[in-house]
Structure 1
Amino acid sequence: MLNLGDEMLFRTNLSRNLLVDCAFTENHFTVDDASDFQLYKERITCLPLSEPRKAELALYCVAAKRFHKPVQPKSWFFESQGIGHTPEQGDLVSLSNVLNDGVFIALEVGENATLCAYTDLVPFALNDSKTLEFGQVIKVMHDRMSDANTLFFTQQMAMVG
């Protein structure tokens, strides 16, 4: 749980076995957390989510970035995009497989893989028996990603005219 002050506690959607040990002690919302929250909140403004859901997603992202255990990529769930895309923290990326396409937000960017959070309310089918829910995270190699920022920017530009 993350203490947000004023008697507000936030509980993450991450399962206990995915959290580092310090996640189980008292934790306060830090300046770095606030900076990350603001970055994620700004980057997801274009998503078709209500304001409370955007705040929830941004908090999930902060919690995952701060408390998620290091994990290996699970890229086999997604199709290769050729050369792929190396995102920056907060970038929106597109991932797809034979079952669906989805938009994710980059949380921790590594040299070859990135920890991403799923941004849609409709579950993302990884295979016939596994799904990702809103705000859940997965680490994926960059060759599976494509840039989704331009998709949303282009749509916003088209709507203005």
Structure 2
Amino acid sequence: MLKPNNSWTWYYDSKHDSLMLDLGDDMIFRVSIPPKHLITSAYDRTDFTVDDASVFQTFVESIAGLDLSEPRKAELALNAVAASRFHKPMMPKSWFFHTQGEGCEPQEADIVTLETDAGMAKFLVIENSGCASLCMLAETSSLALTSTKSMAFCDTIKVMNDRMQAYVVESSVNLALVG
């Protein structure tokens, strides 16, 4: 997994019309957030801060149990940091998702599941703003929202918390019988 350092730099690349993160050693990460969803400070060159590194570590620890390759985990964590710092506020679009009884009260970096008519998927919570949360799709397969609209890996959406269920990592326990 990537280790953040003080040479990392956020910048906007107008040629690629995208927010980028210069990781040094000739490595550039292209953020998946569309330009229309970026706040104005995303267009300024800024350092990857100690706060960014802390948020990155929080996301890395949270997604460790997901069934994703290490490069995909790094991509998800970096996009999540970018979203937590540079994503514009947005209105919830909860109508795509089924209500889940009591729902849940997610915290930053929690993994939750959301269900549409087409299926269920895991999401990473970027931020909770009270009754709704900004979430990022944490699965490599796309999720159909309607017959004509879908979400791809690392796409964001704001959803009311009553549509979410806490994701529980299933782990097998190997027991040895002695005696």
User: TM-score if structure 1 supplies the norm length?
Assistant: 0.92
Q: Quick one: distance in 1 between partners of 2:72 and 2:46?
A: 23
* Structure 2: distance between partners of 1:103 and 1:12: 20
Question: Structure 1: which amino acid aligns with 2:112?
Answer: V
CA distance, structure 1, for counterparts of residue 89 and residue 97 of structure 2: 20
Asked whether the equivalents of residues 2 and 28 of structure 1 are also in contact (C-alpha less than 8 Å), the reply is no
Bigger RCO (CA 8 Å, 6+ sep):
1
Q: Which amino acid aligns with 2:67?
A: P
Which residue does 1:144 correspond to in 2?
163
Asked if residue 85 in structure 1 is aligned to residue 79 in structure 2, the reply is no
Aligned mates of 2:108, 2:35 — CA distance in 1? 24
CA distance in structure 1 between the aligned counterparts of 2:66 and 2:132, rounded to whole angstroms: 23
SS in 1 for 2:46: coil
- Relative to its length, the structure with more strand (as a share) is 2
Match of 1:3 among 9, 22, 37: 22
Q: Distance in 1 between matches of 2:49 and 2:82?
A: 11
Cα displacement (A) at 1:83? 1.6
Q: Which amino acid aligns with 2:72?
A: R
1:24 aligns to 2:43 (yes or no): yes
Please tell me whether the aligned partners of residues 93 and 157 of structure 2 are also in contact (alpha carbons under 8 angstroms). Answer: yes
State TM-score, norm by structure 2: 0.83
- The aligned amino acid for 1:80 is T
2:155 is the alignment partner of 1:97: no
1:44 aligns with 2:87: no
Provide the aligned length of Structure 1 versus Structure 2: 156
Identity rate, percent: 45
Q: Deviations over 1:18-53 (max 9, x none)?
A: 111111111221111111111111111111111111
Q: 5+ residue gaps in structure 1? A: none
- Per-residue Cα deviation, 1:78-99 (whole angstroms, up to 9, x for no partner): 0001221010111000100111
